[in-house]
Amino acid sequence: MISASLLIVPTIAAALVWIINSDRARRFLLVLTAAVNLLLSGASCLIEPGELFRGWIAPDEISKLFFCITGIVFLAASVQTVKYLHREAEKRKNSPKKAYEDDEMSERGFISCLLIFLSTMNLVICASHTGLMWVAIEATTLASAPLIYFHKNNHSLEATWKYILICSVGIGLALLGNLMLYEAMQLNGIGTQMLIQDIIKNAGALNKGWLEASFILFLVGYGTKMGLAPMHTWLPDAYSESPSTVSALMSGALFNCSFLGLLRIHQICVSAGVGDFSQELLKIAGLLSMGIAAVFIIGQTDYKRMLAYSSVEHIGIMAFGIGTGGIAVYGSLLHTLNHSIVKTALFLTAGNILAAYGTRHISDVKAMVKEVPATGVLWMAGLLAICGFPPFGTFITELTIAKGAIESGNYLSAGLYIGFLALIFAGISKIMISMAMGSGCLVPEKQKSQLILPAAVLIVFSVILGLYIPDWLSEAVWQISLKFGAQ
């Protein structure tokens, strides 16, 4: 019941957007749907959400965690979107250039795409059929492409084209992985239905060679969508060119969905006894992503791109954690929650900075603490959190992963992991200080009014998670991590 409404409510709202004629009502509908979605996500943890279509849609424990993350991120982003759309409308009214006739159209399309995007993400999370999951992940690409193109200039067009082409080719490879997984089942005569639970039950009988081949293709395919290096090339462009609320959604919610796709295949590998193979690949890909992110964060000139590379870093951390096994798997899964919260807050704040200073160049933004104090403080807090500083939740999870890496006895990878974290911390803190301190840049008075509530709430939430993790949460995450190779 709940799983059905999680899919249907946003879809209906997306259709309603085309009927409602008032700007204000449409924006209200967006926030309302986001709130309902979060409530439903919360309810799914308490009441069994239920299966649909003969088990094709069957949310399990990890789905509930990811529903909640998506719900939180989407609500924060949609509140900020209202402010953003309002500002854009004002800008258009005041601009001397003749306004396009399709402006209202584009706002309708934007809100409607946001809602469809939410619905497809929910579908990814609760799909328990590998084919259906593939369809849903490709659908998220298609629903988010128009969002990136919202500004309708040549930069956003370039970013959109790269996003569509690279991600679609990547996801195409994941389809090939699906076929190979099917082959691995067929060769040894395990059913014809690709329900994940059924595959896991019979995992021992899977053909190992084909399964390994299919995991590689899934890693490349869904890895492209997540932004795992070296398939991350579309990511900085798409994150930096799209409206900040969209970047927040992509890195806070979409990112987890593709990660979940990969996790499910990893789960199959673990139960089939080729967990070592998939762990090794995840570990290497994770460290590579962290290394590449470190190189590009140091000396970065654009703060939104810096955040994008930080997302590449964090997907690396998560993949590394899953690959390390043991307690690091627990850390990794909890890190998805922590990272989503902090990164969403950061992208929303980055949108505020962009609105105040009108530039994405790090060197042109100065004295934020003096000019826009609230935004400045949030920005500093967020950047400290993303580097894994106490008292934020990310500190605990990054530390847990480090602990797992050291316990696993592979000191080289543990050393590299900690080394990259340190490098990235150095890179980000230099940027943070130069943007927050100093003097010079004056912000016009009328650009100072900003909506900081969503980001502030998220940062507070992250602090709470850093100081106190409720028992039920850690117990639930621990139960999930047992399925993904934690012992």
Partner 1 sequence: MNEILDILIATLLLTDMMLLASSRLAFCIKAVAFQGLIIGLMPVLISGGGHENREILLIAIVNIAMKCLVLPFLLNKASKMAHVQREIEPFISYPVSIMLGISGIAISFWACSGIALPDRIISDIATPAAISMIFTGLLLVISRKKALTQALGYLVFENGIYFFGTSLFQEHSLIVELGILLDVFVLIFVMGIAVFHISREFDHIDTDKMQSLGDWEEEIEEKEGDEVTG
- 3-state DSSP assignment of residue 7: helix
Q: Of 161 and 478, which CB lies nearer to partner 1 in the complex structure?
A: 161
Q: Of 65 and 293, which CB lies nearer to partner 1 in the complex structure?
A: 293
Report residue 113 CA to chain centroid gap: 17
Q: Of 363 and 479, which CB lies nearer to partner 1 in the complex structure?
A: 363
Contact between residue 158 and residue 237 where contact means Cβ atoms under 8 Å apart = yes
Q: In terms of residues, how long is the chain?
A: 487
Q: Of 14 and 65, which CB lies nearer to partner 1 in the complex structure?
A: 14
The least CB distance from residue 128 to partner 1, in Å, is 13
The residues of the shown chain that bind partner 1, judged by CB under 8 A, are 56, 129, 131-132, 134-135, 138-139, 141-142, 145-146, 149, 152-155, 157-162, 164-165, 168-169, 172, 175-176, 179, 182-183, 186-187, 192-193, 209, 236-237, 240-241, 296, 300-301, 305
Q: Of 347 and 461, which CB lies nearer to partner 1 in the complex structure?
A: 347
Q: Which residues of 265-291 are buried (b: 16+ CB within 10 A; e: fewer)?
A: bbbbbbbbebbebbbebbbebbbbbbb
Q: The dihedral of CA 240, 246, 250, 251: what is its sign?
A: positive
Which tokens in the block code for residue 376?
A: 């400045």
State how far the Cα of 263 lies from the Cα of 254, in Å rounded to an integer. 14
The least CB distance from residue 181 to partner 1, in Å, is 11
- Cα R_g (the chain), whole angstroms: 22
Q: Of 51 and 183, which CB lies nearer to partner 1 in the complex structure?
A: 183
The least CB distance from residue 92 to partner 1, in Å, is 19
Please list the residues that pair with 195 across neighbouring strands.
Answer: 129
Q: Of 236 and 388, which CB lies nearer to partner 1 in the complex structure?
A: 236
State how far the Cα of 119 lies from the Cα of 71, in Å rounded to an integer. 11
Q: Of 240 and 450, which CB lies nearer to partner 1 in the complex structure?
A: 240
Contact between residue 313 and residue 289 where contact means Cβ atoms under 8 Å apart = yes
The least CB distance from residue 461 to partner 1, in Å, is 32
Q: Which region holds residue 51: left if phi is over 0, alpha if psi is between -120 and 50, else beta?
A: beta
State how far the Cα of 401 lies from the Cα of 328, in Å rounded to an integer. 4
What is Dmax (Cα atoms) for the chain? 71
The least CB distance from residue 302 to partner 1, in Å, is 8
Question: In 3-state terms, the chain is what percent helix, strand and coil (to 5)?
Answer: 80, 0, 20
The least CB distance from residue 140 to partner 1, in Å, is 10
Cis upstream peptide for 96 (omega within 30°): no
The least CB distance from residue 242 to partner 1, in Å, is 12
Amino acid at 338: N
State how far the Cα of 292 lies from the Cα of 314, in Å rounded to an integer. 12
The least CB distance from residue 157 to partner 1, in Å, is 6
DSSP label of 252? I
The least CB distance from residue 196 to partner 1, in Å, is 14
Q: Which region holds residue 326: left if phi is over 0, alpha if psi is between -120 and 50, else beta?
A: left
The least CB distance from residue 441 to partner 1, in Å, is 19
Q: Of 82 and 114, which CB lies nearer to partner 1 in the complex structure?
A: 114
State how far the Cα of 48 lies from the Cα of 70, in Å rounded to an integer. 18
Q: Of 103 and 183, which CB lies nearer to partner 1 in the complex structure?
A: 183
Q: Of 179 and 426, which CB lies nearer to partner 1 in the complex structure?
A: 179
The least CB distance from residue 117 to partner 1, in Å, is 13
